[in-house]
Amino acid sequence: MKIIIDAAGGDHAPLEVLKGAAEAAKEYGAQIALVGNEAEIRKASEKNGVPLTGLEIIHADRGFPMEADPTSVIKENIVTSMGVGLKKLADGECDAFVSAGSTGALLAGATFLVKRVKGVKRPVIGTTVPNGIGRYYFLVDSGANSECRPEMLMQFAVMGEVYASRIMGIESPRIGLVNIGSEDTKGTQLQLDAFALLKKSGLRFVGNVEARELPLGGCDVAVCDGFTGNVILKLSEGMALFFIKELKRMFLSGAGTKVAAMLMKGQLSEFKKACDYKELGGAPILGVQKPVIKAHGSSDAKAFKNAIRQAVVCCEKDIIGEIARGVAEQKAGAAEKGRPPRK
Amino acid sequence: MKIIIDAAGGDHAPLEVLKGAAEAAKEYGAQIALVGNEAEIRKASEKNGVPLTGLEIIHADRGFPMEADPTSVIKENIVTSMGVGLKKLADGECDAFVSAGSTGALLAGATFLVKRVKGVKRPVIGTTVPNGIGRYYFLVDSGANSECRPEMLMQFAVMGEVYASRIMGIESPRIGLVNIGSEDTKGTQLQLDAFALLKKSGLRFVGNVEARELPLGGCDVAVCDGFTGNVILKLSEGMALFFIKELKRMFLSGAGTKVAAMLMKGQLSEFKKACDYKELGGAPILGVQKPVIKAHGSSDAKAFKNAIRQAVVCCEKDIIGEIARGVAEQKAGAAEKGRPPRK
């Protein structure tokens, strides 16, 4: 198994990528290649004493610029680290690709270079979001498709179900449709039509789920358009930061509360860890023919290492094959149900 | 000044309404009338020893059923407490109306009985959401209009600005457009078009604001469609419950942490209070010709009392007049700017 990682993507590239990759190479036994400017990679390695033992280097002139038109990654697949990495993935020279670079470019490149799984309308970004200590729900779409059709949401549910059960280890995941009320008649036409599709999908559909229920464990896979999903993801992050900030302020407000902080040290660090995206790996782009993992832009070595682990697990568990089967079965099922009754 | 309150709306009607109204009558010096089934009101008053001193009773056969078609409140304005109350408000027999009943019905009744302020395209529900101890931002639309046009978002901003400055006391409120990125080019066509309108509005528009920034104080008025706003509102509630639950679990996990809980008691109760909707009053329906306040469905006496206080303040500060002026000025400004340049 070979995983390529974008050495020029993210706020802390290339050093943190190198560190994470070196640790992952040691720990997971997978072959790991760094794609990026070779001179820069070697310089960062020497300067910081991070040996490149066990890591392959694939040269690309430069990283993909964050501010560039995302679709330009498709043409620039011999110049930019992301383009080169995705091209090698498409050509079968590796098994998965990890990048903390531009989400839009990674999505465009994954869609048009690596290409979609047969039958998939639109690739989607899913994110694991904490809803307890060591517990998570899977949010699809968390930002790929701002505008969606009902059949797209249906497929997000199918792909999300596969990811939640195979990778997150949730048995028989409960699929919820994010909506502004729990009644069947709530939402815009998109939710109404998606509800009807999900109801007859054969998935374990638990109906409409209000955003209030998401952090309280209301469902295991939360299905929505990418605009709503992105709002949910970012508000969850912001609320976590808000609470941690307020908690800190409270603990530092007096002598007694400082003692309290010391007594709570273990619990607080466990909780902070549970809320920390770095522990979770990255966000998978689902619906393309090879595993592509989007690592958080501010990833450090640990986050990169975990994103690589996630790519390894996606390969081992054949997530692509499972998604292809899931999408095909759902399509066949829909055709079956859509067939007029025999006379 | 006379405020009518729906004695049959909410999970704890009529008793908690009675208690809240009785306290408000004592404290705010406004004339307060309860609308609902007179026999039931008197029974609840006697049984629980809550005197009706200073409270007028307006009879209506029954409350408006939560599960009924919201628009039926318009016809049923002589039978249901909400219908009767809104009709009296429309007829000038009182100055403001408060209800914890069906949001949809209250919105429909406010729109078609009380009627819109001249020039307002769609009434909107705004909600004050905490982003610190004693600090709040105003979220418009928090659930009235699931689907919006750009001009509607523009008006939500105008009405939100008036509410934030006049009622919440925020000087020169910063208006943000909720979006999935801070760059000007982000979002769907709705956000792109609303961005253009807001940019030339003369309001203090701070641009696109990601949901992550909302609890961190990124803007004072967060403008979005009612689907997105409802997701934001409910996720904020859910995240607060999630954190309080986790905090409780942490504090109860051992002998040391129980001591920590005691040391933190004051700070925790202050924080819990800051996150508590009961302190905040209700959500105003803006854009109709009289103040209408939607109290939370699970309001207790304190929440009702605060919602009445909010109605009083809306009357005192002439929120309706301010909104009418704001909307007219914005319209005139837009016409001015839309006028072809003189030759």
The 10s digit of each residue's pLDDT in A180-225 is 999 898 999 999 999 999 999 999 999 999 999 999 999 999 999 9
Phi/psi-derived region of residue B59, left when phi > 0, alpha when psi is between -120 and 50, beta in every other case: beta
Work out the pLDDT band at B336, boundaries 50, 70, 90: low
> Do the Cβ atoms of A211 and B232 come within 8 Å?
yes
Mutation target to probe the B interface, by most B beta carbons within 10 A, among A135, A142, A224, A243 is A243
Residue B229 predicted with pLDDT over 80: yes
Indicate yes or no: CB of B242 within 8 angstroms of CB of A131: yes
How far is A331 from B116, CA to CA, in rounded Å?
48
Residues of B in contact with A240 (CB under 8 A): 239
How would residue B343 be classed by pLDDT, with cut points 50, 70 and 90? Answer: very low
Residue A51, pLDDT > 70, answer yes
Confidence of residue B342 (pLDDT cuts 50, 70, 90): very low
Residue with tokens 């509360």: A257
The CA distance from B234 to the nearest CA of chain A, in Å, is: 5
3-state SS, residue B128: strand
Task: Tell me how far apart the alpha carbons of residues A255 and B263 are, in angstroms, rounded to a whole number.
Answer: 9
Q: Are B55 and B34 in contact (CB under 8 A)?
A: yes
**Out of B147, B213, B245, whose CB is closest to A188?**
B147
CB B229 within 8 Å of CB A228: no
- Average pLDDT score over residue span A72-85: 89
Q: Please report residues of B whose CB lies closer than 8 A to that of A245.
A: 216
Closest by CA to B232, choosing from B244, B221, B243, B246, is B221
CB contact under 8 Å between A231 and B236, yes or no, is no
Over chain B, what is the mean pLDDT? 92
Range 167-206 of A in CB contact (< 8 A) with B? 178, 180, 187-188
ipTM of predicted complex: 0.93
Q: Looking at residue A335, what is its pLDDT?
A: 64
Q: Which long-range contacts (CB under 8 A, 24 or more apart) does B39-42 make?
A: B40/B7, B40/B8, B40/B14, B41/B7, B41/B14
Cβ(A290)–Cβ(A84) under 8 Å? no
The length of chain A in residues reads: 343
Helices (H), chain A: 15-28, 38-48, 72-75, 81-90, 103-109, 150-166, 189-199, 226-251, 255-263, 265-274, 301-316, 319-338
- Is the pLDDT at B331 greater than 60? The verdict is yes
Any chain B CB within 8 A of the CB of A230? Answer: yes
Chain A residues closer than 8 Å to B188 by CB: 146-147, 227
B68 CB neighbours in chain A (<8 A) are none
Taking a contact as any Cβ pair under 8 Å apart, which residues of chain B between 95 and 134 contact chain A?
Answer: 131-133
Q: Is A240 on the interface with B (CB under 8 A)?
A: yes
Instruction: Give the model's pLDDT for residue B337.
Output: 58
Residues of B in contact with A147 (CB under 8 A): 188
User: From the list B143, B212, B259, which residue is nearest A237 (CB)?
Assistant: B212
CA atoms of A92 and A113, how far apart (whole Å): 12
User: Average model confidence (pLDDT) for chain A?
Assistant: 92
d(CA B147, CA B194) in angstroms, rounded, equals 13
Percent residues over pLDDT 90 in chain A? 75
Cβ atoms of B113 and B90 within 8 Å: the answer is yes
Q: Is the pLDDT of residue B185 over 50?
A: yes
Q: How far is A129 from chain B (nearest CA, A)?
A: 12
